[in-house]
Amino acid sequence: MGSLQHKQFSGRFENGVFEIDVPIDNDGGIVTIELSADQAEQIARWMLDQLKPKKVVDASVIEINNETFGRFWAAYPKKVGKVDARAAWANTKAAHHLDAILADIDRRKDGDQWKQGYILDPVRYIRSRRWEDSAEDSGPSLPQLEGVL
C-alpha cells in the first residue's frame, strides 16, 4: 500500500487501484476518485507534460525575424498571405539566408516565369526554400500565347 499527501489532496494505492481525495469546497468536503493504474499513469504523464518549461523565444530573435522578413517582403513581388509567410519565415529560420534569398529574388525578377506573371506565393517560396534552387531549377518558361486568340 502506498500513500500520497499534498496540501490540497491526498491519495493512496491499494489492490491495484489509486484513490485520490480531492477537495470540492472550503468546508472540508472531499470527493474520492478511483483510478486504474493505466488511468493514473495517463494523468501523471499529463501532469508532467504541464510542468515542462515552455519554449521561450529571445526578443532579439523576434526582432531579427521582423527586420529580415520586412526586407524579404519589400523585395518579393507577390503580396499575398503575409501572416502565413511571416510564420513560415520564422519556422524555416530563413533570416539566416537573407542575402541568398534577396539575390535569388533579383535573379528571378529577370527570368521569363516572373516576367510572365508566374510567381509563387511567398509562403510556398519560403517553405520550399526555393532560394536553394539552381538557376536551371527555376522551371521551364511559360509558352507564348501570341496568336492563339
pLDDT tens-digit profile of 3-12? 554 556 667 7
Q: Are 102 and 71 in contact (CB under 8 A)?
A: yes
Q: What is the pLDDT of residues 39-58, one digit of tens each?
A: 877 877 877 777 777 666 66
Distance CA 141, CA 9 (A): 70
Retrieve residue 137's grid coordinates.
531549377
Average pLDDT along the chain: 79
Q: Are 116 and 143 in contact (CB under 8 A)?
A: no
Residue 148 has a pLDDT of: 52
Q: What is the pLDDT of residues 111-136, one digit of tens each?
A: 898 999 899 999 999 999 999 987 65
Distance CA 51, CA 54 (A): 9
Tell me the whole-structure pTM to 2 decimals: 0.54
Q: What is the pLDDT of residues 58-89, one digit of tens each?
A: 677 778 888 999 999 999 999 999 999 999 99
CA angle (72, 78, 82) in 5-degree steps: 65
Least confident of 5-9, 17-21, 26-30, 52-56: 5-9
Residue 75 has a pLDDT of: 96
Retrieve residue 95's grid coordinates.
533570416
Helix axes 59-75, 98-109, angle to 10 degrees: 10
Would you kindly state where each structural domain of the chain is located, as residue ranges? 2-51, 59-138
